[in-house]
Homo-oligomer: A and B are copies of this chain.
Amino acid sequence: MSLYSQFLEGSEVALSKIISHIENRSAGYQELLSKLYRNNGKAFRIGMTGPPGAGKSSLVNHLAGLFLADGRRVAIVCVDPSSPFTGGALLGDRLRMQDIPLDKGVFIRSMGSRGSSGGLAAATSNVAVALDAFGFDTVIIETVGVGQMELDIIDACDTVVVTLVPESGDAIQALKAGLMEIADVFAVNKADRVGADRMVYDLQMALEMKTGKSDWEVPIVATQAVNNQNIDQLYTDITAHRKYLEQTGNLTRKRGDQIRKKVEQVILRSLLNDINGSVLDDQALGEIVQRILSGQDDPYSVGRELYRRFKKMD
């Protein structure tokens, strides 16, 4: 039986293999994604982001439990752009949390950096396609930190939850990091700590001042992940946002934007492969670098020349 048939029959082993296939961009992965995509578009994608140490993993685990209790099938993708490791590197962190219903069948996958800039965000959304096609109706994508790459990853989600803690800086820092723009729901975690009320207040202020407001009023939920406090409210707000997206047609608009980006990604990825296999092969590059280092040429002229040469090929 082929890997894909096993996948269709619900083998998690086949799913894991297919995800690795997609992550590694091994031969034929795009054709595979075409097939997977046809069984796609049903899963609710939730993005969880925020600074390191905000307690995102813990919140995600509690949320996963609530989705499970509601009869959902849940997959978690944990993305660490700075890690060269994939496929379970962070599982250690997870396993230390004893109160998590991992055994109830939540599928967890870690993803690390795959070198090229922009490549990880694309790979993450591709993996979500596979999880969706497999039958997970709830896919939670969690990032370890917050930065441009993380924003790109979160861009492919339907609902974005930004988690902050009183210590992680004030609302001004969140504003600076662009978090105010992308949050559909705020969680102020570790809400028992000093400064939590103040942070909720500051976030409310910042949200008030936001221009280009939509009809959706961004909720701010004060949570305590370790004590399982107020996670049910967070869950309610997340599912409410999903309903809002569906009822207003914003979900279709979002998906349209995601499709646009994906098509561009696919084209550029193919061209990049072509370049590295032709005008930018190792030997050519070595000579180019020497010529530029010795001041006989510059990378911009060389780049343009190679571009022209590439365009003339086949």
Contacts and interface: CB of A to CB of B under 8 A. Distances in A.
Given A266-B304, A270-B303, A280-B267, A148 B298 contact: no
Contact of A259 (B31, B117, B288): B288
Interface in A70-121: 80-83, 113, 117-118, 120-121
A132 to B, nearest CB: 12
Given A37-B299, A148-B147, A259 B176 contact: no
Given A121-B117, A177-B82, A304-B270, A299 B169 contact: no
A23 to B, nearest CB: 15
Nearest to A178: B82
Interface string A272-310: 101110011000010011001101001111111011001
Given A300-B33, A300-B37, A267 B275 contact: yes
**Copies of this chain:** 2
A307 B176 contact: no
Contacts of A300: 30-31, 33-34, 37, 262, 266
A146 interface: yes
Interface stretch (A4-12, A149-157, A233-241): A149-157
A271 B270 contact: no
Nearest to A179: B82
A252 interface: yes
Contact of A177 (B118, B145, B304): B145
Contacts of A270: 303-304, 307
A169 B280 contact: no
Contacts of A252: 293
19 contacts: A31-B300, A33-B298, A38-B295, A38-B298, A53-B169, A82-B147, A83-B178, A117-B149, A145-B177, A147-B148, A148-B149, A167-B167, A256-B289, A256-B293, A259-B293, A260-B289, A263-B288, A265-B303, A266-B302
